[in-house]
Amino acid sequence: MNDPGLRWYHRLYVGMQYLLPQHLLSALMYRIARLRWRPIKDFGIRLFVRHFRVDLSEALEPEATAYPSFNEFFTRALRPGARPLPSEPSALLCSADGTLSQIGGIEDGRIFQAKGHDYSLLELLGGRQDWARSFEGGSFATVYLSPRDYHRVHMPLAGTLREMIHIPGRLFSVNPVTTSLVPNLFARNERVVCLFEGEASPFALVLVGAIFVGSMETVWAGQVTPAGKESPSRRYEEETGIHLSRGEEMGRFNMGSTVLLLLPPARVVWDPSLDPGASLRARQRIGVLR
């Protein structure tokens, strides 16, 4: 791919990721991020805030070193009232703070990743043909969370959980450079697919892991990755009663990554101001339901 924005060192950076022990490094980061020894923990948090220019003005706890560990700082909550919901009942919300990587339609079972690359909807969903059929011809939005962003994930719509699928895979970085150079990136990285029924029934949120993402969590199952001996994938019947309201927290990354929203055909009109590269905030209106 002859993209003039990509240089030799970008290709070297991505090439090295193929060789790195991705899961081992992520497991190491998992442990480091949970250290509670103040000298190390405080130094790491201060360095991170300064380097990435992290804005804590909306955080429930605005003092960075007050968090017991780096992970608790990284997954910090918002203070009450920081992100009021749009008053429009049909508004579709953004699930996370970050950058809009791509947005558009799902055509011929393929989702656009970056210039020169797309990937299979069926592979993204772990081979689940029943769910893939539901989204064929539908819409998608991909949001990339950088290290400086708020890392909790919220519901774009009210929904009842029907299934959570954990799909093991690689842990490539999901930053723009890697997305431009690694084919099928989101269908080969480890991910957690959460399938809901709701007003835009069905819809899905896909939490994509990445290098140094030590774990992903949901509010109903707790830590999903790294997976234990028991498979975290499970179905949820009507009597389980896991219903989440529009804008409610549904999960979190314990380091940065990517969230994909999948919607069925003819159910959403995207906000016309949205273009790839736009900065987004969780609970922001990004479209309306038809």
CA-to-CA distance for 16 and 13, rounded, in angstroms?
Answer: 5
Residue type (1 letter), 165 = I
* 87 burial level (CB within 10 Å; 0-12, 13-18, 19+): exposed
Rg of the chain on CA atoms, in Å = 18
Question: CB-based contacts of 61: which residues, under 8 Å, 6+ apart?
Answer: 67, 76
Beta-carbon count within 10 A of 79 CB? 13
51, 89 contact by CB (below 8 A):
no
Residue type (1 letter), 161 = L
* 213 burial level (CB within 10 Å; 0-12, 13-18, 19+): buried
For residue 201, give Cα distances in angstroms to 71, 138, 163, 270. Answer: 34, 12, 13, 17
CA-to-CA distance for 204 and 128, rounded, in angstroms?
Answer: 13
- φ, ψ dihedrals at 83, nearest 5°: -130, 75
- Residue 290 tokens, joined: 């038809």
- Active-site residues: which are they? 97, 154, 257
- Residue 9 tokens, joined: 């060192």
* 177 burial level (CB within 10 Å; 0-12, 13-18, 19+): middle
